[in-house]
Amino acid sequence: MLSLVVLNSRGTKPLLNYLRERFGVELSTSYAFFKSHKGRIYLITRDIERVSFSTLPIISLGFYFCTEEKDGYRLSFDGALFIANLVKRNVITLENNQMELWMRGENFPYTYGDGYVLVKYGEDCVGCGKVKDNTMVNFVPKSRRVKLLN
């Protein structure tokens, strides 16, 4: 059984403020947010409020949007794609050699202010990363990484 807690307006306020301050994104309040015991936050349309959960065995709900971390909110790949066209700041664009490292799941030197960033290659969003101490920390899931063929 799925153990998610519905976030009320007080629970979503820190996330919405973070998105506004870090990325310049004004996310609509027409979405419902759920939080798992691991700090993962899921997003779903408010139409879910019309469903009676007492009679349904729920396995999954919405999509994985982000994870609450000590230093902010780390967007999931789907979360980054969801807000990519709304982001006004803290967007970085990778060059060819950096993109190869990114797709292999490797960290690499990158000079930018510290914090979470939306990562693009050309016009395409390729996820969320974190710049820390002039290093791009890669969060590409192992299942999405490209392996080298030798």
Q: Which carries the bigger pLDDT value, residue 145 or residue 67?
A: 67
Mean of per-residue pLDDT scores for the chain: 90
Closest CA to 127 of 114, 113, 140, 137: 140
Give the SS3 label for residue 95.
coil
What was the pLDDT predicted at 120? 97
> Is it the case that residue 141 has pLDDT exceeding 90?
no
> Is it the case that residue 149 has pLDDT exceeding 70?
no
pTM, rounded to two decimals: 0.88
CATH number of 90-138: 2.30.130.60
> Is it the case that residue 22 has pLDDT exceeding 70?
yes
What was the pLDDT predicted at 60? 72
Q: How confident is the model at residue 2 (pLDDT cuts 50, 70, 90)?
A: low
> Is it the case that residue 26 has pLDDT exceeding 80?
yes
Token code pair at residue 34: 């759920």
**Phi/psi at 108 (5° precision):** -155, 160
pLDDT in tens, 85-131: 999 999 999 999 999 999 999 999 999 999 999 999 999 999 999 99
From CA 98, how far away is CA 106, in angstroms rounded? 9
CATH number of 1-89: 3.10.450.720
Length of the chain: 150
> Is it the case that residue 36 has pLDDT exceeding 60?
yes
% of residues, the chain, pLDDT over 70: 93
Q: Residue ranges of the domains in the chain?
A: 1-89, 90-138
What was the pLDDT predicted at 59? 67
Across the range 21-28, mean pLDDT stands at 94
Token code pair at residue 19: 């998105």
**Phi/psi at 15 (5° precision):** -65, -50
